[in-house]
Amino acid sequence: MKVPLLDLKPQYQQIKEKIMPEIIEIIETQGFILGPKVDRLEKEMAEYINTPHTLGCSSGTDALLLALMALDIGRGDEVITTPYTFFATAGSIARVGAVARFVDIDPATFLMRVDQIEKAITPKTKAIMPVHLFGQCVDMEPLMAIARKHNLAVIEDAAQAIGARYHNKDAGTFGDAGCFSFFPSKNLGCFGDGGLVSTNRTALYERLKGLRVHGGQVQYQHLEVGLNARIDALQAAVVSVKLPFLKSWTDGRRRNAALYNELFKNNSNVITPIEKPDCYHIYNQYVIRVKNRDSLKAHLGEKEIGCSVYYPLSLHQQKCFASLGYKKGDFPESEKAADTTIALPIYPELSREQIEFVAKTVNDFTA
């Protein structure tokens, strides 16, 4: 039995008949840039996550860039974030000329430790960028209290967390801006690159709208230097067609996670992911921890079971961030996670037999 880490083809079969007419319509009308498909997506997404404004953009990375720029974060500023995340989190901070200041993660959830944030605040700190990693929210209530106390902006990296909730409120709706990605491997993916920024601040929304099109909403009138960071109408249409399915796909991921948890229950050599009591986890990734991670990874490869390591090198150890002055040992939990974690197939269309096969293979190897 072959089990890929992710196979999007069965999902496509589900939506094919709905997507093709949308795509043909856009091609027939040649309306590729912004317009009604993008407006519709922004309205639907705002309703879905229950926030006043959303803005479609070219990728999750550009969502982060737009948010940083709209909040005037740049040279000389510091942004507090986690070293255990996808590169774009700290990459976007560096891209605007600011400095990433890391705090270590909670080993049980892989999420940034909110109780470490205040220690990292300096007179230069302008913002906090929590990452709702793997589909579970950071503890946003204490985080927002710290942000308010120190007058810091909050940009949520919700690229992996569409539909995740904390205290019954959606990821990406707590801070000044929430940043989402429609990269195909996210829970709500398009047919290429795409992203979205959410905000509950109208003035910030207007600024973001300008920044998305070279810094001015009126053509050829540039109030500032922005980006070309639009989402394609084609990609917006794909996301709109998929959105009504998202809840059932998330249910499928949660069902698969519960089955894995059950199958690993009696194996003390596999540490399964936890869902915090006040959270709704959407399992963009199902990440376990094992002692002999690299040999398990090789073994799964031989058995044709897809798996991946998110992420094998903490951001404070990346060569491009050497100038930040961090060294090995600075964030021990993040480094330990990089050495011991492995993501297993979790996508909703997996069969029970496939999950059982993956779990048995892991159990036989690690027990």
Ligand X SMILES: *Cc1c(COP(=O)(O)O)cnc(C)c1O
Alpha-carbon dihedral of residues 292, 136, 333, 74, nearest 10 degrees? 130
For 245-318, where are the alpha helices, taking DSSP H only?
Answer: 246-263, 293-302
Backbone phi, psi, residue 293, to 5°: -60, -50
CB of 351 to ligand X, least distance (A): 26
Q: Which CB sits closer to ligand X, 104 or 157?
A: 157
Token match 């394609």: residue?
Answer: 232
**Which window, 17-25, 153-161, 198-206, 353-361, contacts ligand X (CB under 6 A)?**
153-161
Please write down the HEC assignment for all residues of 215-240: CCCCCCCCCCCCCECCCEHHHHHHHH
- Which residue, 237 or 270, has its beta carbon nearer to ligand X? 237
State in Å, rounded, how far the first CA of the chain is from the last one: 21
Contacts 24+ apart (CB under 8 A), 27-33: 31/233, 32/232, 32/233, 32/234, 33/230, 33/232, 33/233
CB of 343 to ligand X, least distance (A): 12
Give the residue among 311, 269, 306 at the shortest CA–CA distance from 290: 269
Binding of ligand X at residue 89 (CB under 6 A)? yes
Q: What is the nearest approach in angstroms of ligand X to the Cβ of residue 65?
A: 9
- Under the binding rule (CB under 6 A), the answer on residue 250 touching ligand X is no
Quick one: which segment of 119-127, 157-165, 295-303, 317-325 binds ligand X (CB under 6 A)? 157-165
Q: Which is nearer to ligand X, 111 or 263 (CB)?
A: 111
Phi/psi region, residue 291 (left: phi>0; alpha: psi -120 to 50; beta: rest), is alpha
Report residue 295 as tokens.
Answer: 């040999």
Verify binding: residue 366, ligand X, rule CB under 6 A: no
CB 78 within 8 A of CB 126: yes
282 binds ligand X (CB under 6 A): no
C-beta of residue 118 within 8 angstroms of C-beta of residue 143: no
**Which of 38, 71, 131, 288 lies at the binding interface for ligand X (CB under 6 A)?**
131
Among 178, 195, 210, 345, binds ligand X (CB under 6 A): 195
User: Nearest approach, Cβ of 86 to ligand X (angstroms)?
Assistant: 4
Q: Counting contacts by CB under 6 A, is residue 256 touching ligand X?
A: no
Residue number closest to ligand X, CB atom: 60
Chain positions 49 to 88 lying near ligand X, rule: CB under 6 A, are 59-61, 85-86, 88
Pick one of 159, 190, 263, 270: the residue that binds ligand X (CB under 6 A): 159
Give residues in contact with ligand X (CB under 6 A).
59-61, 85-86, 88-89, 131, 157, 159-160, 181, 183, 193, 195
